Amino acid sequence: MQDVHSDSLVSGNSGGDGSPLVARLRKLLFRRMLVGVSDGRFFLGVFHCIDKQGNIILQDAVEYRSVRQSSSSPMEQRCLGLILIPARCRSSCHVECSIDEQMSLLSLNK
Amino acid sequence: MANHQGGGGGGAGGLIGHASLPPPIPAGDQTVWADAGPLIVASCSELQDGELIHAENFSLFAAMSALEIMDPKMDSGIENSGYHSIEEAIENNIAPVPLSLDSTLDVQCILDVIDHLFSCEATWHKGHSLAQTVFSCIYLLRIERTSPHSLLHSYCRIMRAICNALVSVVSDARTNEEEDLFAMAYALPLKGEGDEKCLSILNSVEETISRQLRACRAQSSRKKSLEDIEPLQRNPDLEEGYCRALLCRLRFRKHYFHVFMCMRKPHGKGLELARKHVALCLSELSYMSKSLEFLRSLPYGSFQDDIESSTTASGCKPIGFDASLNSTLSAPGPPRATHILSWKKAVGYFQKLLHDLDFVCSFNMEPVLEDVLHYVVQFQKLQPDLVARTHLQILLVQDGKLCGKDSFHDVISRALALPELTADKEFQKNEFIVQLGQLIVSLLKILCTNIAWQRRKLGKILQDWGVLSLQLEMAFKREFGDRLNVMVDENMCMKVSRRLLIWTDEHTYWIASRFLTLGFELELYSPNEYCMVYWYMYVVLMRLMEKMQMRIAINSETCKRKREKKKDHAKDPARDGSLSSSSLLIHCYICLCEGLAMMLAALHNESKAFQMRSPFNGEEERFSQHFDLLQKAHVPDHVSYYLFKESTVHARISGVVKHNYFREAQRITSSLKGSFAGDPNRMLELQQLEQVAEHNRIALNVINQVGADDPSLRVSFEFTHHPHFAMAVVKRS
């Protein structure tokens, strides 16, 4: 299955790869990512894929939801596995990194 | 630079992004959360259309199965009730205890809760998840809260005990392979301490209310009440109506609970009592229906939008329910739109369920396998739902024995008309007998599943039966080979293996014929395929009858010898009689199948009707699609598409008329009426078969007179009289 689309869909040799920004984003693959969505839930999983529209796929994702409406409420969690978070409902997105590398990894200035 | 404001650093807390709210989930030990939002926005804009950034292990196919967040059809965690948890809902007074401070309103609201739970239960049985139906009730989810309110508490307790009992019986029997939502109970609080006392709690509440009813009747007839009893609620005009409405609901629950408790008693010991409770349940159901008028006339509550499809008898919205609160518990199943059945439909459902359970309870616990198979098939004609089917199954196979009484080698030795083998240890340990016993168990279990699943599974186990009968045949050919030669004498050995082979073959064909007829009930065949299906049925039934007759011949031989020995005319001739009428009935099916197959083939040959002109697959492909499982199992041997073609290619209407298959079928049905007189189900079927035969005979004559090639002739087939045998309808345009 993988072979079929590795030619057509994968960014491999096509245009965007030349961009340093895309390369930097690619480096974040396999890192733990924490995505918040518009209804207040968070999803923590391994960054697996993203497309031009910003839809993100996470692997081994866990859902966190607060038990009450107040912001200080405790959270309950459950495992969901492979999830797709559409860009339109994403309200925040964080990746896990060491304190040293966060500057170089995420800065947009270069 | 658009990230990483400090948030506590290092371990717990981690670093957080600038614009978004701080993530409440701590990062790892030496790591921080850094906001990737701006990088994502910037990088994505540089991507090409359709381009993805992904890891090497990415597969588009796997990605397709990703759960889409915020999609109402996939994401069960989506926020939609306004409350984040049951506790929060309770704090907001969604499910107050008592339901109202006004005692009349309180009773009214409880009646609505009871009725809605009743509709929810029916919906659950019909295939929705427990979490989205019965356990959408907040009172049930936090049952301890209801303890100050004895009426509500007692009802919730027994409700929970019943749900728990049903979930456990269904998961034990595993009749629910396809209807798997039924037994999904995950994190629901199904069990609780003290649930075993639910009946006594309910009884005491019932006692109180019936005293209140007596008291209010005494008052209305101006007799002085002997006891000083506090009324159920404050309005004396409504007291009697409310008491009655509550009593029938509570009593229904009580008897309903008893039904299941009795049915689970081993060896069918509780069946008789269960039937009594079924009858009582049905009478309470009719009281419940009668209470509808009273409840609808009351000026309380806010009515549901569509009163006819209302989930309560009163038509009011119940309080204390929120299906979205525990929708996350229904994972891994995607959230489904659950439409709760209306209360009236729920009453209808429970009536049907109770009648089905009554049929199960009428089961005769001294069974002969043939009768059991016939019984299960009759039961499936009622189209019973999962709960009733499960209860039949646990009755049939208990502790690896038929009805919990007879081990399967007993059943087999009886079926072989060799009861002397029962005690024979070698016979019991024989490899074939053990295997055959297992095959019978799985056959019985499969026959209790829903018909779609059943057909699939029957097709699969045919192979096992086919293989076993092949092995038996080989062993037999090796002249009572080494497998069975441990028996007392060679003669016996020969007898056993021959009978075993015939019996196994007979049942293999029986399974095949059930497989084929279920196709009609599931509407799997198109009119263009009827010809091949009836032809195949004809072939299978012929073999079935052949084997049956061989068995009859052997049995009567044995009987004769026994009678000579003992001069005893006990049971066996009667058994033989019923066996030979069963084989005669199969002969009738054969006539109908052959008649229909030939008639369809003749129409195909002469008028070019019922031809397959599908651009996708031709006749031969359809043949193998329908009969693949039978062919793989060699049931019967040497049957192929070419044989089918060969035997139908020369069919002509005039020839079919001359053969008079339908006349023959009619003749058999009338001769069978005497022997089936005591069995209303079979009498009904005879009548249906007679009508089909009569109609088809006339239709055939009309076609013959008009000429099959007449372009104005229109022939279609309908199942108006019998579910498996089509009736030809002839029209001229």
**Alpha helices (runs of H) in B408-521, residue ranges in sequence order:** 408-415, 425-429, 431-447, 451-477, 490-521
> Which residues of chain B from 25 to 54 reach within 8 Å of chain A, CB to CB?
25, 27-28, 30-44, 46-54
Q: What pLDDT, on a 0 to 100 scale, did the predictor assign at position B227? A: 56
Top-confidence residue, A54 or B431: A54
B63-67, B371-375, B472-476, range with the lowest pLDDT: B472-476
Please state whether B568 falls in left (phi above 0), alpha (psi between -120 and 50) or beta: beta
B573 is a domain residue: no
**pLDDT tens digits, residue range B713-732?**
888 999 999 999 999 999 88
In sequence order, which residues have a C-beta less than 8 Å from that of residue B507 and are 6 or more positions away?
B443, B465
Residue B329: pLDDT band (50, 70, 90) is: low
Max avg pLDDT among B514-518, B647-651, B682-686: B514-518
Q: What pLDDT, on a 0 to 100 scale, did the predictor assign at position A109? A: 54
Q: What pLDDT, on a 0 to 100 scale, did the predictor assign at position B81? A: 65
B65 touching chain A per CB within 8 A: yes
Q: Do B181 and B272 fall into the same domain?
A: yes
Q: Do B464 and B340 fall into the same domain?
A: no
**pLDDT tens digits, residue range B92-124?**
898 998 999 999 999 999 999 999 999 999 999
- What's the rounded Cα separation, in Å, for the pair B421 and B409? 9
B461 is a domain residue: yes
Residue B647 sits at the vertex; the CA angle it makes with B642 and B653, to the nearest 5 degrees, is 140
According to the CATH classification, is domain A2-109 in 2.30.30.100? yes
B111 is a domain residue: yes
Residue B314 sits at the vertex; the CA angle it makes with B310 and B318, to the nearest 5 degrees, is 70
Domain residue spans of chain A: 2-109
**pLDDT tens digits, residue range B396-455?**
998 888 888 888 888 888 888 777 776 777 777 788 888 999 999 999 999 999 999 999
**pLDDT tens digits, residue range B451-470?**
999 999 999 999 999 899 88
Averaged over B472-483, what is the pLDDT?
67
Q: Which two tokens stand for residue B663?
A: 């006349």
Q: What pLDDT, on a 0 to 100 scale, did the predictor assign at position B400? A: 84
Q: How far is CA B459 from the centre of its chain?
A: 18
Averaged over B237-253, what is the pLDDT?
93
User: Is A45 a residue whose pLDDT tops 90?
Assistant: yes
- What's the rounded Cα separation, in Å, for the pair B313 and B293? 8
B731 class by beta-carbon count within 10 Å (0-12 exposed, 13-18 middle, 19+ buried): exposed
Whether the predicted model's global pTM rises above the 0.95 cut: no
A104 touching chain B per CB within 8 A: no
Q: What pLDDT, on a 0 to 100 scale, did the predictor assign at position B222? A: 61
Q: What pLDDT, on a 0 to 100 scale, did the predictor assign at position B83? A: 81
B687 class by beta-carbon count within 10 Å (0-12 exposed, 13-18 middle, 19+ buried): middle
Nearest-CA distance from B4 to chain A in Å? Answer: 8
Residue type, B404: G
Q: What pLDDT, on a 0 to 100 scale, did the predictor assign at position B569? A: 46
- The DSSP H or E segment spanning B180 is none
Contacts of B60 in chain A (CB under 8 A): 1, 4-5, 9
Q: Do B435 and B345 fall into the same domain?
A: no
ipTM for this prediction? 0.85
A14 touching chain B per CB within 8 A: yes
- What's the rounded Cα separation, in Å, for the pair B415 and B409? 10
Q: What pLDDT, on a 0 to 100 scale, did the predictor assign at position B191? A: 87
Q: Do B473 and B612 fall into the same domain?
A: yes
Mutate to test the interface with B, among A39, A44, A95, A104 (most CBs of B within 10 A): A95
A45 touching chain B per CB within 8 A: no
- What's the rounded Cα separation, in Å, for the pair B267 and B140? 34
Residue B19 sits at the vertex; the CA angle it makes with B18 and B21, to the nearest 5 degrees, is 95
Determine contact, residues B97/B149, Cβ cutoff 8 Å. yes
Tell me what percent of chain B is helix, strand and coil, each rounded to the nearest 5: 60, 5, 35
Domain C-terminal end among B301, B336, B357: B357
Top-confidence residue, B171 or A100: B171
Q: Which two tokens stand for residue B665?
A: 């079928």
Q: How far is CA B35 from the centre of its chain?
A: 53
Q: What pLDDT, on a 0 to 100 scale, did the predictor assign at position B479? A: 57
- Hey, is B404 helix, strand or coil? coil
Top-confidence residue, B28 or B565: B28
> What is the residue range of B498's domain?
431-440+447-560+579-732
β-sheet bridge partners, residue B401: B398, B407
Residue A79 sits at the vertex; the CA angle it makes with A77 and A82, to the nearest 5 degrees, is 135
Averaged over B280-284, what is the pLDDT?
97
Q: Do B586 and B690 fall into the same domain?
A: yes
Q: Which two tokens stand for residue B618?
A: 């031709």
In the block, residue with structure tokens 């245009």: A15
Domain C-terminal end among B357, B374, B390: B357
Number of domains in chain B: 2
Phi, psi values for residue B492, rounded to 5°: -60, -45
User: What average pLDDT is seen over chain B?
Assistant: 85
Q: Which two tokens stand for residue B666?
A: 């009619």
Domain C-terminal end among B338, B357, B376: B357
B335 is a domain residue: yes
Among candidate residues B155, B95, B525, the one with its CA nearest the CA of residue B322 = B95
- Hey, is B415 helix, strand or coil? helix
Among candidate residues B714, B665, B434, the one with its CA nearest the CA of residue B538 = B665
Averaged over B212-239, what is the pLDDT?
77
Nearest-CA distance from B69 to chain A in Å? Answer: 5
> Which residues of chain A from 56 to 85 reach within 8 Å of chain B, CB to CB?
57, 63-69, 73, 75-76, 78, 80-85
